[in-house]
A and B are shown apart, each in its own frame.
Chain A
């Protein structure tokens, strides 16, 4: 500690210039810097990726080999049908983690440091949301990889397959503003987790993820038809397997826009008000 009595590092002139002349695209640059922070954290704590790696594997194995024969007559046919659904379900539950992490972060005080810096107030949230894209990519890759090992094959072409993957990632990215908002409103990380599972589970089961929607009772079909998960699964199925797309991609994009339009402003407002 003897060095401490020496002269402190000199004032950096870059700061005062920045103060007068903020460089353009601050929100983008600051959000990206903070997204990098999320990536480093993910990299440093790989056990936090269990939800996005193990879950699709378990679900595929359990559902394909236990229910496949009964539901579709053959495990391979059911795997083809189920994989897009499992991808959608896992990526949606993977979006819950951001809410849990943000709730933890805010309790620890790092966000107070961010709030005392001359950066756009939304940058820490936008950065965290963007940083989680890598998680969604990992979900997609691990789901497709285990699917391939089990015998899943894409029936269309690589372009449509990639489009399907991107649509799923975009869906999670937009949906994640909901858990971000919830994390600003509830007290504990556990509460975020519990509340979000209670929301996501009905969405993924009352849908076309596991069985065709036409096998469900009529009253439930009404819900299934508007369920954003149904549209996402039908879109991915169409893009992977060539089944009819109808207007499912458009409905999925509309839901994505809706999530952002509603929950992003709510989350940002709650964040600004949060003490």
Chain B
């Protein structure tokens, strides 16, 4: 009763569905989290961006009640993840490297098991499993053991399993790591649909591109600390936005291409970043189509033309002065010190 009232009050005062302050977690000598704050308003996506070992998974495990923090606190929908863990578990879905399905069971048996455990009743569990199998395009494979599934099917089943209870809050721990680009786009579509239907999503990723594609806000974590929190646009202003890269068929065209690029881009000079590849920072997506039109008009043929966001390494270099891949070594030195 009391917690029910508090939830209403919470909804009225602020609409943060996921909220964490000063999360600290230490495993032996490894300081996985050293005071992390997170905030996700209702119906939005927070992208938590960071390299391996930054503490992303630890944060998700605390928010999903699998771990208790050494210090700090977190609430999901107003319920404390430690004191009201039971209530928190009723409103979350967890998908990730850790929360998996039973490989010996079929896809359908897995989903029906979770439906039964979520009190949907026998018929309800069966219906819900059928709906999700259909939605995730797994109906044909429904009666096969999950261990026979391909990587992409496995991810879809994992995600379906976390949606059985129609959770308000969904945690996706590196949902596309290891998927090929087409499968990644499919997974992005799923996330977008979930958000359209009112879910609040926290997703961790190692790709700025993924966070940019899905998130309303991005929190960058490094060494268990938040080093940046911003909208994707704000973050890109800091770390540099997209770069347009062009590889001409004929190297003799490079000067003419450079001129066009400077005009369609943000005005900056085009650089030859690799042998035979010119790049220019651009501010909006029309630069790509515009440059295609200009190249066609000028009769220049190109073999490669693409827009790129900075890689995680580049983001980290800009934010910290170090590359993400150096982080592992630095963190070990710090821990030892």
Contact = CB atoms under 8 A, between A and B. Distances in A.
Contacts of A123: 117
B79 to A, nearest CB: 11
Question: Of residues A9, A23, A36, A123, which shows the largest number of chain B Cβ atoms within 10 Å of its Cβ?
Answer: A9
A44 B104 contact: yes
Contacts of A11: 166
A215 interface: no
Contacts of B109: 37, 40
Contacts of B118: 15, 18, 117-118
B98 A112 contact: yes
Nearest to B119: A18
Interface string B70-83: 00000000000000
Interface stretch (B128-136, B282-290, B307-315): B128-136
Interface string A32-62: 0110110011001100000000000000000
B137 A37 contact: no
Interface size class of A (residues with CB under 8 A): 35 or more
A41 B124 contact: no
B14 interface: no
B65 A116 contact: yes
B39 interface: no
B120 A12 contact: yes
A33 B137 CA distance: 26
A109 B92 contact: no
Contact of B135 (A8, A41, A114, A116): A8
A68 B97 CA distance: 55
A12 B98 CA distance: 26
Interface size class of B (residues with CB under 8 A): 35 or more
A110 B87 CA distance: 21
B117 A117 contact: yes
Contacts of B190: 4
Contacts of A18: 90, 118-119
Contacts of B89: 116-118
Nearest to A36: B113
Interface string B92-130: 101001111111110001000110111111001000100
Contacts of A36: 113
Contacts of A1: 137, 186, 189
B226 interface: no
Interface string B39-61: 00000000000000000000001
A6 interface: yes
Contacts of A5: 189, 193
A119 interface: yes
Contacts of B100: 108-110, 112-113
B105 A15 contact: no
A275 interface: yes
A115 interface: yes
Contacts of A4: 135-137, 186, 189-190, 193
Given A15-B119, A23-B119, A9 B131 contact: yes
A247 interface: no
A115 B65 contact: yes
A14 B197 contact: no
Contact of A44 (B99, B113, B145, B162): B145
A62 to B, nearest CB: 33
Contact of A8 (B90, B137, B193): B193
A37 B120 CA distance: 17
Interface string A112-152: 11111111000100000000000000000000000000000
B246 to A, nearest CB: 31
Contacts of B189: 1, 4-5
Contacts of B120: 12, 14-15
Contacts of A33: 113, 116-117
A37 B112 CA distance: 10
A7 B197 CA distance: 8
Question: Of residues A3, A7, A116, which shows the largest number of chain B Cβ atoms within 10 Å of its Cβ?
Answer: A116
Interface of A: 1, 3-12, 14-15, 18-19, 22-23, 29-30, 33-34, 36-37, 40-41, 44-45, 108-110, 112-119, 123, 275
Given A15-B166, A109-B98, 14 more contacts: A3-B137, A7-B197, A8-B135, A8-B197, A9-B132, A18-B119, A30-B116, A37-B102, A37-B113, A40-B109, A112-B100, A117-B89, A117-B114, A118-B89
25 contacts: A1-B137, A1-B189, A3-B134, A4-B135, A4-B136, A4-B137, A4-B190, A8-B194, A8-B197, A9-B135, A14-B119, A14-B121, A15-B120, A19-B87, A41-B102, A110-B101, A112-B61, A112-B98, A113-B99, A113-B100, A116-B94, A116-B99, A117-B89, A118-B87, A118-B118
Q: Enumerate the 4 nearest inter-chain pairs by beta-carbon distance, A residue then B residue, closest first.
A: A18-B119, A9-B131, A109-B100, A118-B89
